[in-house]
Amino acid sequence: MIKARTAKFQIGQIVRHRVFSFRGVIFDIDPEFNNTEEWWLSIPEEVRPHKDQPFYHLLAENAESEYVAYVSEQNLVPDDSGEPIRHSQVAEIFIKDKSGGYRPRNPLLN
pLDDT digits (tens, 9 = 90+) for 14-67: 999 999 999 999 999 999 999 999 999 999 898 899 999 999 999 999 999 999
Q: What is the 3-state secondary structure (H, E, C) of 37-59?
A: HHHHHCCCHHHCCCCCCCEEEEE
Distance (Å) of CA 63 to CA 4, 46, 74, 90? 36, 26, 23, 17
Cβ–Cβ under 8 Å, residues 35 and 70: yes
Q: Is the pLDDT of residue 110 over 60?
A: no
Q: pTM of the entire structure?
A: 0.90
pLDDT digits (tens, 9 = 90+) for 57-107: 999 999 999 999 999 999 999 999 989 999 999 999 999 888 778 999 876
The helix or strand, by DSSP H or E, that contains position 10, with its residue range, turns out to be: none
Q: What is the pLDDT of residue 47?
A: 86
